[in-house]
Amino acid sequence: MNAFDIAIVGAGPAGLAAARAAARSGKSVAVIDDNPEAGGQIWRGAAQIPLAAGARLFAMTRVFDVRPGFEVHTAPHGVIRAERLILATGARELFLPFPGWTEAGVAGAGALQTLVKSGMDVRGRRVLVAGSGPLLVAVAASLRAKGARVLGVAEQAPLGRIVPFLLRYAAKLPQATALRARLFGVPYWTGVWPVSFAAGRVALSNGRELDVDFLACGFGLVPNSEAAQLLGCRVEDGFVVVDSRQETTVRGVYCAGEPTGIGGLEKALEEGERAGAAATGQAVRPGRTGAFVRDLARAFALDGRLYGLARPETLICRCEEVPLAELAMHREWREAKLQTRCGMGACQGRICGPVAARLFGWTACSVRPPLVPVAAEWLATGQRQQEPGSDR
Ligand SMILES: Cc1cc2nc3c(=O)[nH]c(=O)nc-3n(C[C@H](O)[C@H](O)[C@H](O)COP(=O)(O)OP(=O)(O)OC[C@H]3O[C@@H](n4cnc5c(N)ncnc54)[C@H](O)[C@@H]3O)c2cc1C
């Protein structure tokens, strides 16, 4: 078994900042990430991201279970044990169902960007970016830089909410203006969203129809708070509750970045630094990004009409192919899950769970390992290393 003073799950900006701060103390630090490169959603694929001197990176390592103690069960490295645990697991995109959302050609906005970063060629391809949040403009600008023909950005939030938000955060205006400049000539429609997609044609809520090669869609981000839930940390509205030192309600478990509130790079770096310092007994600087998280959520709050786009036959659970009509017959998540297998496929409800929460107000009943799909072989290996003879 590998033993460290500090184990950090996630090598995104929050995890890397935590590693840097923790390594300053001279303690041993392990950083675990399921990707071949450190950097998380923003920096992955960019130039070499420096890991703190002295910290060890377990790249391409999936964490599928975390247990009190703190044991981090991973594939393929088995169990990594630590005195303190920092969860910096980031967020995933929120998808909302509309007729045609499962067709080829519809992709997550961030997901398409990730594919392009890893080498997919989009030169000359017609792309419409739609959904909500600042990520849309960042994605559109990066796709255009790679040669895509970006036909427009459809943002569901109304201009009347976006402008005051931008003015309140004037320090971010140069960044926003620079991104817009990279999208010169590309329309940015506000209060507009896709209502259907069929055979490469997107229909928008403003009556416009566009022929595209890709509809890149994302309606904001959902925190990856499952590992924290597994350890019994308090989670409210999906977000991990932390104190001013980033410590969760479970002593010795810290959390930083998107799982504590969607706030982007600056917040991830600030919280990572604080978590790494706190976990190693160093002085902790107060945070400054709390108001930004609240204002961002308000500015890009989703229009209720987005929850009424799916038709009875529209699939909600893509893995198990469960349509809206089948789900609507049930009263809550557990019953729907038992009767329809909704949420029991490869993604383990990571996509349809947040959708069901918004469409029906259902909350997921529990989080169980494996947190992410891993081969049965690895489950068996991790088990043998840690608990000989266990029947769990
Ligand atoms: C698809 C996507 C694309 C994005 N693109 C941009 C962008 O271009 N520009 C921008 O400003 N913001 C972008 N964002 C927002 C971005 O996530 C945050 O602003 C910032 O990266 C948050 O940093 P973080 O460290 O909290 O999380 P992340 O950067 O998400 O890092 C979390 C890391 O934890 C790893 N991880 C999670 N669970 C496990 C597990 N079980 N086992 C092993 N490793 C695990 C993940 O693979 C990831 O590398 C994007 C978000 C998403 C979801």
Kindly list the domain boundaries of the chain, sorted by start residue: 2-91+222-294, 95-219, 310-360
Grade residue 315 by pLDDT with cuts at 50, 70 and 90.
Answer: very high
Q: With 80 as the cut, is the pLDDT of residue 48 above it?
A: no
Q: With 90 as the cut, is the pLDDT of residue 57 above it?
A: yes
| Ligand 1 atom 8: residue of nearest CA | 42
Q: With 70 as the cut, is the pLDDT of residue 328 above it?
A: yes
Pocket of ligand 1 (CB under 6 A): 9-15, 32-35, 40-42, 62-63, 88-93, 110-111, 113-114, 135, 138, 221, 224, 257-258, 264-265, 268, 371-372
The predicted pLDDT at position 175 comes to 83
**What CATH superfamily classification does 95-219 receive?**
FAD/NAD(P)-binding domain (3.50.50.60)
pLDDT tens, residue by residue, 304-314: 999 999 999 99
Atom of ligand 1 at shortest range from CA of 64: 41
The predicted pLDDT at position 389 comes to 34
The predicted pLDDT at position 113 comes to 94
For ligand 1, the distance from its centroid to the CA atom of residue 108, given in whole angstroms, is 14
DSSP track, 79-113: EEEEEEEEE---EEE-----TTTTSTTEEEHHHHH
Alpha carbons 257 and 260: distance in angstroms, whole number:
6
For ligand 1, the distance from its centroid to the CA atom of residue 92, given in whole angstroms, is 7
Grade residue 1 by pLDDT with cuts at 50, 70 and 90.
Answer: low
pLDDT tens, residue by residue, 330-371: 999 999 999 999 998 888 889 999 999 999 999 876 788 888
Average pLDDT over residues 174-202: 93
Pull the structure tokens for residue 331. 């009263």
Alpha carbons 86 and 8: distance in angstroms, whole number:
5
Under DSSP, is residue 27 helix (H, G, I), strand (E, B) or coil?
Answer: coil
Provide the percentage of residues in the chain whose pLDDT is more than 70. 96
> Which of 296, 242, 251 lies closest to 134 in space, CA to CA?
296
| Ligand 1 atom 51: residue of nearest CA | 41
Distance between first and last Cα of the chain: 19
Name which residue leads in pLDDT, 32 or 180. 32
Alpha carbons 229 and 279: distance in angstroms, whole number:
19
| Ligand 1 atom 13: residue of nearest CA | 42
| Ligand 1 atom 40: residue of nearest CA | 63
pLDDT tens, residue by residue, 226-275: 999 999 999 999 999 999 999 999 999 999 999 999 999 999 999 999 99
Q: With 70 as the cut, is the pLDDT of residue 47 above it?
A: no
The predicted pLDDT at position 387 comes to 42
Average pLDDT over the chain, rounded to an integer: 92
Partners of 315 in the β-ladder: 323
Q: With 50 as the cut, is the pLDDT of residue 391 above it?
A: no
For ligand 1, the distance from its centroid to the CA atom of residue 42, given in whole angstroms, is 7
Among the ranges given (101-105, 209-213, 337-341, 360-364), the one the predictor scored with the smallest mean pLDDT: 360-364
**What CATH superfamily classification does 2-91+222-294 receive?**
FAD/NAD(P)-binding domain (3.50.50.60)
Average pLDDT over residues 264-288: 94
Answer for the pair 316, 359: CB distance below 8 angstroms, yes or no: yes
Average pLDDT over residues 374-389: 62
The predicted pLDDT at position 151 comes to 98
